Amino acid sequence: MKKLAMILSLGILMAACNFGGGAGSDVKPISDPDAKTKTENSNSSYDPKRGQGKFTKVDVSPTLNAAMASNGEKVYGVKCVSCHKLTGEKLVGPGWLGITKRLTAEWIMNFATSPDNMIDKDPEVQAQLAICLVRMPNQNVSDEDARAIYEFMRKNDGVK
């Protein structure tokens, strides 16, 4: 009986791992302003807007670079599709719809190339980890591929 309750609550946790606000989701997005302030206070070297890593300033044009986005889509198809949907719906990790509106290019590219650096420090990722129960493994993404994936995410978010 105890075991059953555990399995049930685990199921609820997994189902709640949905950050894109997909249809039928009543889960609030994880951007809790309090969490950010707390981390800023306790770890002043970590910038939750930029994340941690080599990307400090990414140039992003207001219009889409279609060739780059299509390269990004290819990388996504090989390395990311097994865990990330293009809708807001969770698979293993959060769905990507709206991700470029929630997170900066720097944050996304730093995370894509080196998730380990950020998983333990970022308040948003900490919150996800608590719900997803899976750490995103390093996918050996090159700088160029990370930029292409970001462009593909922008396309997915409606940039033309």
Residue with tokens 């309090």: 34
- Count of residues near ligand HEC by CB under 6 A: 28
Closer to ligand HEC at the Cβ: 4 or 111? 111
Is residue 8 at the binding interface for ligand HEC, with CB under 6 A as the rule? Answer: no
Q: Any residues with CB less than 8 A from the CB of 50 and at least 6 apart, and which?
A: 56, 104, 106, 107, 110
Closer to ligand HEC at the Cβ: 5 or 23? 23
Is residue 94 at the binding interface for ligand HEC, with CB under 6 A as the rule? Answer: yes
Q: Among 75, 51, 95, 57, which residue's Cα sits nearest to residue 139?
A: 75
Closer to ligand HEC at the Cβ: 4 or 72? 72
Residue type, 102: R
Q: What is the Cα–Cα distance from 109 to 103, expressed in whole angstroms?
A: 10
| Residues 132, 55 contacting (CB under 8 angstroms) | no
Is residue 119 at the binding interface for ligand HEC, with CB under 6 A as the rule? Answer: yes
Is residue 112 at the binding interface for ligand HEC, with CB under 6 A as the rule? Answer: yes
Q: Among 34, 37, 53, which residue's Cα sits nearest to residue 119?
A: 53
Tokens of 98: 């709206």
Is residue 99 at the binding interface for ligand HEC, with CB under 6 A as the rule? Answer: yes
| Residue 106 beta carbon to ligand HEC: minimum distance, rounded to whole angstroms | 11
The correct pick among 29, 31, 121, 135 for binding ligand HEC (CB under 6 A) is 135
| Residues 17, 90 contacting (CB under 8 angstroms) | yes
Contacts with ligand HEC, residue ranges (CB under 6 A): 19, 79-80, 82-84, 92-94, 99, 103, 108, 111-112, 115, 119, 124-125, 128-129, 132, 134-137, 139, 141, 149
